[in-house]
Amino acid sequence: MRAKVIELCGVIIPMVASHQNLPTLGFFSWRLGHELLPRNVKIASIRNGFDQGCPRCGAVAEALIHALKDCYFARGSFYWRVGHKHHVEANEAIKKWEKPPKGIVKINFDASINVNKMGYGMIIRDDDGFVLGGGGGFIDKRVLVYEVECNAFERSIELACQLNIDGDVLFETNHAGLVNKMRNYGMDVTIIGARIKECKDAFNNFKSADLIWTNRSCNNVADLICTKMCSEAKTWFFDMDYSKEIHNAVINDVT
């Protein structure tokens, strides 16, 4: 316990030294001291079958120290929200899906996990925002976050090839970890790293291709599809004939 307190102090003291919003930081520290910050290890201790892995970096267990200190993505999110509490909702609401440059097809994909199954979804649009195709599916087993996102990436490439899209393509995801792995695929010797390398090789099917990060609020249609596939446990693909629910989400994404 003593070691844990010392380690937490090493996290909090630098924040206090450089922080202007001390009342907000005080409340954050109170929640921290009483272990009231939500993280998957805590949730898994009271909910059977819940995945205790870190949803951001794919670590086996998202414990308190991991979320605040070890995980780059979670740490950045926590610290930013403490300092920008009143601006989070407003800034996220402003961001929407953006049309790609002229002549480029944009493919958004996303994935979700629900206890012991995962869903993935993707939507393909041209430079006018016109839907060329999309869809998604589910896998009935427990997997890590990186596996889910990598699977969605692989299915997105496959769908683009099935629709005979072979020009300039831009793949877009709100999972920063996947983009970082793509940038450093040559140094990753894990199974996920090998799959990422295969995705990189599959880019040869297109005139040009790249994977970039986007804000979560810019990925709403793909998120809708993957959540639907996961909850309904089904696989579904479409070209230019799709449901009204998807149509409304696409319209809302650009207006």
Distance CA 200, CA 210 (A): 9
Residue 90, pLDDT score: 46
Q: How many residues does the chain have?
A: 255
- How confident is the model over 81-103, as pLDDT tens digits? 555 554 444 444 557 899 999 99
pLDDT in tens, 114-152: 877 889 999 999 999 999 999 999 988 877 888 889 999
pLDDT reported for residue 92:
47
Please, are residues 57 and 178 in contact by the beta-carbon 8 Å criterion? no
Residue 106 pLDDT grade (very low, low, confident, very high; cuts 50, 70, 90): very high
What's the confidence (pLDDT) of residue 49? 61
Cα dist from 168 to 64, 109, 200, whole Å: 43, 17, 14
Task: Decide which of 77 and 21 is more confident.
Answer: 77
- Domain boundaries of the chain, sorted by first residue: 2-93, 104-254
Model confidence at 22: pLDDT above 80:
no
Sign of the C-alpha dihedral computed for residues 216, 221, 224 and 230 taken in this order: negative
Query: pLDDT higher for 179 or 43?
Result: 179
d(CA 56, CA 196): 17
- Topology adopted by domain 104-254: Nucleotidyltransferase; domain 5 (3.30.420)
Q: Is 41 exposed, middle or buried (0-12, 13-18, 19+ CB in 10 A)?
A: middle
Question: What pTM was estimated for this model as a whole?
Answer: 0.67
Q: What is the pLDDT of residues 180-234, one digit of tens each?
A: 889 887 787 888 889 999 999 999 999 999 999 999 889 999 999 999 998 898 9
